[in-house]
Amino acid sequence: MVLAFETDRRRLADTRDMVWIPGRTFTMGANDHHPEEAPAHPVEVGGFWIEAIPVTNRKFAAFVKATGHLTVAERAPDPKDYPGALPKMLKAGSLVFTRPKALSGNDTAQWWSFRFGANWRSPHGRLRDIRGKLDHPVVHVAYADALAYAEWASMALPTEAEWELVARGGLDNAEFAWGDELMPGGTAVANTWQGIFPTSSLKPASADRTSPVRSFPPNGYGAYDMIGNVWEWTSVVDASSPTCCIPANPRGGPIEASYDPRQPDIRIARRVLKGGSHLCAPNYCRRYRPAARHAEPEDTSTSHVGFRCVKRV
């Protein structure tokens, strides 16, 4: 596939599109929602720079062109990492959302499927590509892919505390990143699901996915898409107990504590995702709040997970 790249000068300027976040103490977490968000507690974070937008297809394509990086979704899984897996499923691919016409129970397999050939170049599989979507957030990136990009760019992935501080936009203790109303004055201020998830949407089916960055207003720090559009990887291992209430920018607990107890034979670390995505709705997920968090296995890539980077001083 041939992508239309900007000039080297333009790409360099784009990578410098960052905003400064002054260090401060803020209230992290929440007490009134999902239990893994509690308790709300003060955390001190030093000043740092963060990308104003999620990493886009344009930026990620420049990284791949420069390094030859092959994403996790583009490689067949190693059988020894997945004991008991069916051989026919050990092929390159990724998880793709498709809106179902009707529901039977709450089985997520009705709207999520592992699609062979789905990856960042072809977000929905079936030979579709990202032409015309270079300014959308890159998706189908596993943790290792986000980390490789960050290292190439001489940056880092944010901690959960850094990410949440930015997402709050200076509004400590507000319900949402922009205040206490999900849709102020009935206006959507982030790319979230509008309607009843997953069957009924007020948007066309083609719009039930990512949107171009900067499609919605920036927050108080000048950062875009901190809420909705795509979930974003953080560097923090999902081991809530060891990190809870540590007063200074907690970096996560031991890797072993993050393994999924429901899959004792698979020892893959889980990292914290933040921000919710275009699939979050009042009747489902509700993780379009700064305090919300989700544990994601490092090896997992989906059509609604991306990332952005920070540079620490």
Which letter does DSSP use for residue 173 in this model?
T
Q: Report the alpha-carbon distance of residue 160 to residue 291 in Å, rounded.
A: 10
DSSP helix/strand/coil, 57: helix
Q: With bands split at pLDDT 50, 70 and 90, how would you rate the model's confidence at 14?
A: very low
Residues in CB range of 204: below 8 A, 6 or more apart: none
Q: With bands split at pLDDT 50, 70 and 90, how would you rate the model's confidence at 44?
A: very high
pLDDT in tens, 198-245: 888 877 665 668 999 999 999 999 999 999 999 999 999 987 544 456
**Domains, the chain, ordered by start:** 8-312 (3.90.1580.10)
| pTM score | 0.89
Distance between start and end Cα atoms, the chain: 38
Q: In this predicted structure, what is the pLDDT of residue 292?
A: 95
Residues in CB range of 167: below 8 A, 6 or more apart: 177, 219, 223, 226, 227, 274, 275, 290
Q: In this predicted structure, what is the pLDDT of residue 131?
A: 87
Using CB atoms within 10 A of its CB, is residue 177 exposed (0-12), middle (13-18) or buried (19+)? buried
Q: What is the mean pLDDT of residues 32-38?
A: 89
312 sits in the region (left: phi over 0; alpha: psi -120 to 50; else beta) called beta
Q: In this predicted structure, what is the pLDDT of residue 1?
A: 38
| Helical (H) or strand (E) element with 162 | helix 160-168
Encoded tokens for 298: 């490092």
- Cα maximum dimension of the chain: 53
At which residue do the structure tokens 């275009």 appear?
A: 278
Q: With bands split at pLDDT 50, 70 and 90, how would you rate the model's confidence at 16?
A: low
Q: In this predicted structure, what is the pLDDT of residue 97?
A: 93
pLDDT in tens, 140-193: 999 999 999 999 999 999 999 999 999 999 998 899 999 999 999 999 999 999
